[in-house]
Structure 1
Amino acid sequence: MFSSALKSFTSNISSNYTIAAQPTSASGPWKIFDAKKKSSGKAASVFVFDKKSLEPQGGSLGGRGNTASLKRAHEEVLERLKKEASSLARLRHPSILELVEPVEETRNGGLMFATEPITASLSGLLQEKDEQERIGGVGGRSSRYVVEDPEGGGRKRRELEIDELEIQKGLLQVGKGLEFLHESAGIVHGNLTPDAILVNAKSDWKISGLAFCGSSNTSTTSTVAPIPLSEVLNQDPRLPRTVQLNLDYTSPDFVLDNNATSAADIFSLGLLIVALYNSPHRSPIETHASLSSFKDHQSTCKITRLSNMGTRNGVFVM
């Protein structure tokens, strides 16, 4: 059952499911709880978004105009998060996270939906692997997650391998999911990061995090609205980073040229692969949620590529 701190998150889902008192993982702004459906005993995961997480931490909002502007920003965030869950309902594929209960608004204005059982997000696994490597050196050790039984059966330990074989299998599954999004659904994910990859109870990697998805610039068949780039690319310092586009995994074509095509997702996938083998396990691009930092990084990369150019038989080569 919910802890006392979460009793305000009441909805049909909380009435129909027995939900663990503490989250077992997180994916961006969502806290993920183990759950079981009361009528069937079937396992699930419940995703919960707390609207209070959008409130500025300490400090004045700066007047009536800024308050109204921030309220609009909060409304945009809530609409994007609703879109994330509704997109899961439409996109049925083995490599896309399976939705089992549609998104609902909770009593306190938050959001909640239920999916197939999830053990961890890829971002959580990589953070734990960073800690393991910091303590004991680089290696393929298991990631250990202590979770609570929703029915009060005590605490139990789960282990997930994040070794070379699991990485290869997971990347293949993500690739198939992207192929489905691009070729069958005609949409671009738009924010493919470790937070958008979830590992289910069978250790399969599933794509989620579709809050920023939209039709490709080149699509002629998609019924999904285009990505609202002016809104998506706006980095608002009043909002948590978890509800905004993660520039560290974003394609320059997307940010600098407003070119929302499948190539942008492939670029993000490449950065995700680098993060898997990096130490620490993060993107080689660090923007600190700043568009100007992103542009500076791209300029530096361009200068570096030019400086590495040479000539061979009078022809420039890279």
Structure 2
Amino acid sequence: MESMLNKLKSTVTKVTADVTSAVMGNPVTREFEVGRHIASGGPGLCWRIYNGTKKSTKQEVAVFVFDKKLIDKYQKFDKDQIIDSLKRGVQQLTRLRHPRLLTVQHPLEESRDCLAFCTEPVFASLANVMGQWDHLPSPVPQDIKEYKLYDVETKYGLLQVSEGLVFLHSGVKMVHGNLCLENIILNKSGAWKIMGFDHSISSANPSEAEPRYTCKEWEPSLPALCLPNPEYLAPEYILSVSCDSASDMYSLGVVVHAVFNEGQPVCQVNKHDLFKSFSRQLDQLSSMSPTMLNHIPEEVRDHAKMLLSIAPNVRPDADQMTKVCTGRDLPGHWEGRGRVRGPYPDPDPGQ
């Protein structure tokens, strides 16, 4: 048993050393000190997140690192597809500026071994705090392992995500395309921020009142890291190759279900037989059992049910959801849980 533990320990040490050396070769380290591995996030939780500081100002940041060794098993074409997809997501996030989107402090840098970029200080992804621990340090940090979301905190977080979607849908005429737990980040102050724009779609006619979005057909031959998380994807993406802002609202409905249900999405999807899974999902959602949403607070339950409707025009839009999530009972401050939390921010400012 002892030799097995020692072997495991040496494996973990080696992986950590490999990742650290990968970062050290990246241009981002010219301006930033990379510290402790604290979390993971983004598509498939493939971005390892580190504490960091800017060398010139000592400003605190988070350093997101994608180690290319993670995709060694793929052929060159698939590797290129994954890297291009991840790059696109970060570049899109860097261009977009809004208080409810994760703030990029230093743009994407690529080296032979990794991709890296810096953001505002981060605590973890929503997926991490809901028990998804892929690409976390070992042992899993105690503050993540013991984290528990309070209902009021969850409702306020959902309000912040809804405000981010208002900006995307109304402000820049864009569909996020992959809203899920791993693409929602809790910053150091506890605010919920959107990232993961790898599959975002901009309107083909942004100057017109009614935006039009061109949806890409699902390509099952591509690696999972090149595709949206199917368990959060609206049925119309797969079954009619169509999408609009209402498709993001379905994804928000799955997020609502997951955060009140120990991280579990509404329907389990067989990634190897997606069409069959989505057909079964339609049946399940069409005759939704009342018990299916019992764990969701009563004041949000009806709206969650509408968000999960198979008919896009039934789903509330992001602006309507901000009104649902605005609670009159928000306290003046969050109870501490092992890290500093300030007062609830006003819905308009950046943090």
Of 7-16 and 267-276, the range deviating more from structure 2 = 7-16
CA contact (8 A) 2:37 2:50 kept: yes
Give the letter aligned to residue 198 of structure 1.
Answer: I
**3-state SS in 2 of match to 1:127:** coil
Q: 1:283 aligns with which of 265, 270, 278?
A: 265
Give the aligned partner of residue 17 of structure 2: 4
CA contact (8 A) 2:128 2:144 kept: no
Give the letter aligned to residue 301 of structure 1.
Answer: Q
Of 70-79 and 255-264, the range deviating more from structure 2 = 70-79
Give the letter aligned to residue 264 of structure 2.
Answer: R
Give the aligned partner of residue 107 of structure 2: 102
Give the aligned partner of residue 248 of structure 1: 231
TM-score of the two chains, using structure 2 as the length reference? 0.67
TM-score of the two chains, using structure 1 as the length reference? 0.74
How has the CA–CA distance of structure 1 residues 219 and 258 changed in structure 2, closer, same or farther, with 3 Å as cutoff?
A: farther
Q: Could you give the per-residue CA deviations for residues 131-153 of structure 1, whole angstroms, max 9, x where no partner exists?
A: xxxxxxxxxxxxxx748xxxxxx
Of 193-202 and 156-165, the range deviating more from structure 2 = 156-165
How has the CA–CA distance of structure 1 residues 107 and 302 changed in structure 2, closer, same or farther, with 3 Å as cutoff?
A: closer
Q: Following TM superposition, by how much is the alpha carbon of 1:303 offset from its aligned partner in structure 2, in angstroms?
A: 7.0
Give the aligned partner of residue 220 of structure 2: 235
How has the CA–CA distance of structure 1 residues 113 and 256 changed in structure 2, closer, same or farther, with 3 Å as cutoff?
A: same
Q: 2:150 aligns with which of 163, 181, 189?
A: 163
Of 95-104 and 120-129, the range deviating more from structure 2 = 120-129
Cα distance in 2 for partners of 1:53, 1:270 equals: 31
Give the aligned partner of residue 30 of structure 2: 15
The answer to whether 1:49 aligns with 2:34 is: no
Q: Following TM superposition, by how much is the alpha carbon of 1:128 offset from its aligned partner in structure 2, in angstroms?
A: 6.8
Q: 2:162 aligns with which of 147, 172, 175?
A: 175
- Where does the alignment leave 5 or more consecutive residues of structure 2 unmatched? 1-14, 134-139, 289-351
**Identity score, percent:** 28
Q: Following TM superposition, by how much is the alpha carbon of 1:89 offset from its aligned partner in structure 2, in angstroms?
A: 1.5
**3-state SS in 1 of match to 2:157:** helix
Give the aligned partner of residue 257 of structure 1: 240
Give the aligned partner of residue 115 of structure 1: 119
Trace 1:63-102 onto structure 2 (pairs within 5 A).
Answer: 70-102=75-107
Cα distance in 1 for partners of 2:144, 2:154 equals: 22
CA contact (8 A) 1:274 1:283 kept: yes
How has the CA–CA distance of structure 1 residues 267 and 105 changed in structure 2, closer, same or farther, with 3 Å as cutoff?
A: same
- Where does the alignment leave 5 or more consecutive residues of structure 1 unmatched? 58-69, 130-144, 148-155, 306-318
**3-state SS in 2 of match to 1:258:** coil
The answer to whether 1:297 aligns with 2:280 is: yes
Figure out how many residues of one structure are paired with residues of the other and give that number. Answer: 263
How has the CA–CA distance of structure 1 residues 263 and 218 changed in structure 2, closer, same or farther, with 3 Å as cutoff?
A: farther
**3-state SS in 2 of match to 1:190:** coil
Give the aligned partner of residue 204 of structure 1: 191
**3-state SS in 1 of match to 2:107:** strand
Cα distance in 2 for partners of 1:267, 1:168 equals: 17
Q: Following TM superposition, by how much is the alpha carbon of 1:219 offset from its aligned partner in structure 2, in angstroms?
A: 4.5
Q: Following TM superposition, by how much is the alpha carbon of 1:296 offset from its aligned partner in structure 2, in angstroms?
A: 3.4
Q: Could you give the per-residue CA deviations for residues 95-151 of structure 1, whole angstroms, max 9, x where no partner exists?
A: 00000100010232x21111001101000111179xxxxxxxxxxxxxxx748xxxx
How has the CA–CA distance of structure 1 residues 47 and 40 changed in structure 2, closer, same or farther, with 3 Å as cutoff?
A: same
Give the letter aligned to residue 177 of structure 1.
Answer: G
Cα distance in 2 for partners of 1:247, 1:128 equals: 16
How has the CA–CA distance of structure 1 residues 275 and 158 changed in structure 2, closer, same or farther, with 3 Å as cutoff?
A: closer
Cα distance in 2 for partners of 1:227, 1:79 equals: 20
Q: Following TM superposition, by how much is the alpha carbon of 1:173 offset from its aligned partner in structure 2, in angstroms?
A: 0.4
Q: 2:249 aligns with which of 261, 266, 280?
A: 266
**3-state SS in 2 of match to 1:229:** coil
Cα distance in 2 for partners of 1:244, 1:50 equals: 19
Give the letter aligned to residue 200 of structure 1.
Answer: N
Cα distance in 1 for partners of 2:184, 2:230 equals: 17
